[in-house]
């Protein structure tokens, strides 16, 4: 993999409000190169955070710096967009396009130099395991393959910041295994932020984990540290109500303690 | 260095590299809605033209005029609906987020999404244009096809596609496209019912086909439709929306000019003074405007029976003259040669009716005012005239008159004359002509 592409993500006082719902509440975060897992229950604010980082949605308040540029500045936002890759939770595509055409279209949207597009498209399609279907229409692919097209389009510009919202949904176990390897590879030089419900994705692929709950940061640490919080199984219990494996139990432990503290913090 | 192998140009062209498969324009051009829209535009325009082919196939003006109406009133709603559907694609496909995170500017993204569709609409129109012009070519002998019609049609179709696209981007409702098509049809057709020159603001409106646009008319019309579309496009796509004021001002200026000058933007094309005549040992002598010379055989054939019957009489050999030419003492005016009505594809549609209409123009008919006659004399005059007409130019029609049944057949009317011996009939007809010329009821021969 290439060397460090520089720059990370810094978020300070980030607030996102959808009508009367507070999705993110003055969040402060920073992400350095590596693979970062975003965990949290439904409605925790994971997708809101990813959408703001992808510059799709504007924050209600706060400051966001991507790859060294302030996204409230048009020029710096455009520069950051050239260097980021984004896979939305609901990945949309043009069904009549071939895989090659669709990925090339995104490369054009990312303002990649025209001469480098054909090679980049073929490389990234091979990387996600779709080389033999590169000239097939997207509508002819299975759900898992379409998800891989989504991953390919997010990677085509070799992004310095890769934002993935539920990327493994629809992938079979073997594909998930390969995808995690891909994430680890990309994360050696880029900042990768993965929003997921699957704790095993975090355990095996991420260097750092951020747990969001009710629009706030409930926990930050490594997957190992999170697992350690749930490592101790209570004696005499066959099945622990907090989860089947250490990281699940750690996740539940953190959430419960955060929920106990939350009312005090908001007071 | 590499060298090119010698070979035939066709082979070399076949081996030439394909257009870049990674170009977004190519992808948009080949996939999705755009090619289907082009094919539909062609099919709709040709179906509309085919259903009225007798009206236009013989006149460049008629052809282009009808194609313009079809392009605006049918192609326009189709293009605006297609543009709108394409504009709403990102919402339907869930690619709004993906496009929002792209660094490429909105003008470029918009152009790449709408330009291929527009190109297909234009291709659809141009294919239809080529087909109808080719169909007209064998039968049109006057004038030539005008580029100005095509220019205004093409600008209009580009404009309305772009307006539809912007509407589709802005209005998140699936029924916007069909509703917009209906509104476009009504909005473009309604001005035809306006009495004022404001009707000419609709690209569907035009003046008589004997007029042609002045050279700058298509430019003004294009500024009107294109200016409105460009303003809409810039309001949506440009970072500085104030730029939209420029095309909007251009459109307003052009619209004001169109409303002010009205038909003054067209000029009348005078009928050429040169005549072409057809005659022979048998059959009548017929003269028409030179561009209509292809009609001479058909007209002479249609008038053959009338000519033969007139030869039985002692009337002079008439010359049948078309349109606005001045008449000499032995000239008879032909019915107006109207392509699409009594003349289609260089043929007279109903030779018997054409001959009957021509016979009515013979100089001994319709000379007398019935006001000077008693009712009985007027009725007798009328009945004899119908009888003579039915003999000279039988049309197998049912004519009003003759109680108690209220109508009489052409064949019944001419029966008495048909029953006469040729010499007696000629004598009778000569006496009738003399009486008709003098308007003297007492001289009318009995039948």
Assess whether B281 and B336 both reside in one domain.
yes
Query: Which tokens in the block code for residue B325?
Result: 């030419």
Assess whether B150 and B196 both reside in one domain.
yes
Q: What is the pLDDT of residue A94?
A: 96
Assess whether B54 and B185 both reside in one domain.
yes
Assess whether B382 and B348 both reside in one domain.
no
Does a structural domain hold residue B7?
no
Structural domain that includes position B75: 21-211
Which of these three, B359, B381, B402, is where a domain ends? B359
Work out the mean pLDDT of chain B and round it to a whole number.
87
Residue B113 at interface with chain A, using a CB cutoff of 8 Å: no
Assess whether B316 and B379 both reside in one domain.
no
Q: What is the pLDDT of residue A32?
A: 94
Contacts of B242 (CB under 8 A, 6+ apart): none
Q: What is the pLDDT of residue B141?
A: 82
Closest Cα in chain B to A81: B103
CA of A137: how far to CAs of A89, A98, A99, A131, in Å? 21, 4, 6, 13
**Could you tell me what percent of chain A has a pLDDT over 70?**
90
Assess whether B353 and B408 both reside in one domain.
no
- Tell me if A22 sits within 8 A of A176, measured CB to CB: no
At CB < 8 A and 24+ separation, what contacts does A121-128 make? A121/A156, A121/B22, A124/A152, A124/A155, A124/A156, A125/A99, A125/A100, A125/A152, A127/A152, A127/A155, A127/A182, A128/A152, A128/A155, A128/A182
Closest Cα in chain B to A100: B22
Closest CA of chain B from A95, distance in Å = 8
Which of these three, B156, B181, B211, is where a domain ends? B211
Residues of chain B contacting A79 with CB distance shorter than 8 Å: 103
A92 vs B26, B27, B93: nearest CB: B93
Assess whether B162 and B309 both reside in one domain.
no
Q: Terminus-to-terminus CA distance in chain A, angstroms?
A: 48
Inter-chain CB proximity B103 and A111 less than 8 Å? yes
Does a structural domain hold residue B314?
yes
Residue A111 has pLDDT above 90, yes or no: yes
Residues of chain B contacting A91 with CB distance shorter than 8 Å: 94, 98
A96 vs B21, B26, B32: nearest CB: B32
Q: Is A239 helix (H, G, I), strand (E, B) or coil?
A: coil
What's the pLDDT tens digit per position in B165-224? 999 999 999 899 999 999 999 999 988 888 788 899 999 987 777 888 999 999 999 999
Query: Nearest-5° angle of CA A30, CA A33, CA A39?
Result: 60
Beta strands A84-87 and A34-39, pairing class? unpaired
- Band (pLDDT 50/70/90 cuts) for residue A108 is very high
Q: How far apart are CA A39 and CA B417, in angstroms?
A: 108
Q: What is the pLDDT of residue A3?
A: 43
What's the pLDDT tens digit per position in A218-242? 999 999 999 888 766 555 555 556 5
Does a structural domain hold residue B310?
yes
Q: What is the pLDDT of residue B397?
A: 61
- Band (pLDDT 50/70/90 cuts) for residue B323 is confident
Q: What is the pLDDT of residue A5?
A: 52
ipTM for the complex shown: 0.89
Assess whether B37 and B133 both reside in one domain.
yes
Residue B35 at interface with chain A, using a CB cutoff of 8 Å: no
Assess whether B336 and B411 both reside in one domain.
no
- Tell me if B271 sits within 8 A of B324, measured CB to CB: yes
Assess whether B294 and B182 both reside in one domain.
no
Does a structural domain hold residue B99?
yes
Q: Please give the domain boundaries of chain A with CATH numbers for all domains.
A: 1-83+160-218 (3.40.50.300), 90-158 (no CATH)
State phi, psi for A38 to the nearest 5 degrees: -110, 115
Inter-chain CB proximity B98 and A92 less than 8 Å? yes
Contacts of B251 (CB under 8 A, 6+ apart): B223, B224, B225, B226, B227, B228, B230, B231
- Residues 107-166 (A) with a CB less than 8 A from some CB of B: 107-111, 114, 117-118, 121, 153
Closest CA of chain B from A93, distance in Å = 6
Assess whether B201 and B331 both reside in one domain.
no
Residue B29 at interface with chain A, using a CB cutoff of 8 Å: no
Which of these three, B359, B378, B405, is where a domain ends? B359
Residue B109 at interface with chain A, using a CB cutoff of 8 Å: yes
Provide the domain count of chain B.
Answer: 3
Q: What is the pLDDT of residue B2?
A: 37
- Band (pLDDT 50/70/90 cuts) for residue A263 is low
Q: How far apart are CA A60 and CA A24, in angstroms?
A: 9
Assess whether B377 and B297 both reside in one domain.
no
Contacts of B192 (CB under 8 A, 6+ apart): B199, B202, B204, B205
- Band (pLDDT 50/70/90 cuts) for residue A6 is low
What's the pLDDT tens digit per position in B31-41? 999 999 999 99
């Amino acid at each position: 993999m290439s060397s460090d592409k520089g720059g990370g993500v810094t978020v300070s006082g980030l607030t996102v409000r959808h009508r009367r719902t507070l999705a993110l509440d003055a969040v402060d975060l920073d992400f350095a190169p590596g693979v970062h897992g975003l965990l949290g229950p439904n409605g925790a604010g994971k997708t809101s955070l990813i959408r703001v980082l992808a510059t799709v949605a504007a924050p209600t308040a706060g400051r966001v710096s991507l790859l060294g540029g302030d996204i409230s500045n048009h020029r710096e936002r455009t520069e950051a967009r050239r260097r980021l890759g984004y896979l939305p939770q609901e990945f949309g595509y043009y069904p009549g396009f071939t895989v090659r055409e669709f990925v090339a279209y995104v490369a054009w949207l990312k303002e990649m130099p025209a001469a480098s597009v054909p090679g980049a498209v073929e490389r990234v399609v091979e990387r996600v395991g779709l080389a033999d279907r590169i000239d097939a229409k997207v509508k002819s692919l299975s759900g898992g393959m379409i998800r891989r097209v989504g991953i390919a389009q997010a990677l085509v510009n070799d992004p310095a910041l890769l934002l993935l919202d539920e990327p493994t949904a629809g992938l079979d176990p073997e594909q998930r295994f390969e995808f995690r390897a891909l994430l680890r590879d990309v994360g050696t030089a880029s900042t990768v932020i993965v929003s997921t419900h699957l704790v095993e994705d975090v355990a095996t692929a991420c260097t750092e984990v951020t747990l969001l709950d009710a629009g706030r940061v409930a926990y930050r640490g490594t997957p190992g540290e999170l697992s350690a919080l749930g490592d101790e199984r209570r004696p005499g219990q066959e099945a622990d109500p907090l989860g089947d494996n250490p990281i699940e139990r750690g996740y539940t432990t953190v959430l419960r303690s955060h929920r106990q503290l939350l009312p005090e913090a908001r007071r | 260095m590499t060298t090119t192998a010698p070979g035939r140009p066709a082979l070399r062209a076949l081996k030439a590299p394909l257009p870049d498969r990674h170009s977004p324009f190519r992808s948009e051009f080949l996939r999705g809605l755009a090619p289907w829209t082009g094919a539909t535009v062609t099919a709709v325009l040709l179906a509309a033209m085919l259903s009225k082919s007798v009206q236009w196939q013989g006149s460049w003006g008629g052809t282009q005029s009808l194609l313009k109406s079809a392009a605006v009133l049918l192609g326009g709603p189709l293009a605006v609906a297609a543009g709108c559907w394409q504009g709403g694609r990102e919402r339907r496909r869930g690619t709004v987020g993906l496009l929002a995170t792209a660094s490429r500017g909105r003008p470029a993204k918009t152009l790449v999404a709408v330009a291929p569709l527009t190109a297909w609409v234009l291709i659809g129109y141009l294919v239809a244009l080529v087909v109808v012009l080719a169909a007209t070519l064998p039968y049109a002998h006057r004038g030539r096809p005008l580029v100005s019609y095509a220019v205004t049609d093409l600008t209009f179709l580009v404009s309305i596609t772009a307006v539809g696209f912007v509407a589709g981007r802005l209005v998140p409702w699936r029924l916007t496209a069909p509703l917009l098509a209906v509104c476009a049809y009504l909005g473009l057709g309604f001005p035809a019912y306006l009495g004022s020159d404001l009707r000419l603001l609709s690209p569907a409106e035009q003046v008589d086909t004997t007029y042609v646009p002045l050279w700058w008319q298509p430019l003004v019309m294009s500024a009107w439709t294109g200016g409105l579309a460009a303003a809409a496009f810039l309001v949506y796509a440009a970072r500085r929306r104030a730029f939209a004021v420029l095309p909007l001002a251009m459109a307003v200026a052009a619209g004001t000019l169109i409303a002010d000058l009205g038909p003054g933007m067209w000029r009348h094309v005078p009928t050429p003074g040169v005549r072409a005549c057809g005659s022979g040992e048998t059959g009548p002598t017929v003269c028409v405007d030179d561009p209509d010379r292809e009609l001479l055989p058909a007209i002479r054939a249609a008038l053959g029976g009338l000519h033969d019957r007139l030869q039985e009489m002692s009337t002079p050999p008439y010359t049948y003259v078309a349109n606005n030419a001045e008449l000499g003492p032995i000239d008879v005016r032909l019915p107006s040669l109207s392509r699409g009505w009594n003349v289609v594809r260089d043929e007279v549609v109903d030779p018997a009716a054409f001959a009957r209409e021509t016979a009515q123009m013979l100089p001994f008919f319709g000379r007398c005012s019935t006001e000077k006659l008693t009712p009985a004399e007027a009725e007798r005059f009328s009945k004899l005239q119908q009888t003579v007409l039915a003999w000279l130019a039988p049309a197998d029609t049912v004519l009003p008159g003759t109680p108690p049944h209220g109508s009489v057949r052409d064949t019944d009317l001419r029966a008495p004359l048909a029953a006469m011996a040729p010499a007696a009939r000629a004598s009778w007809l000569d006496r009738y002509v003399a009486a008709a010329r003098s308007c003297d009821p007492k001289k009318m021969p009995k039948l």
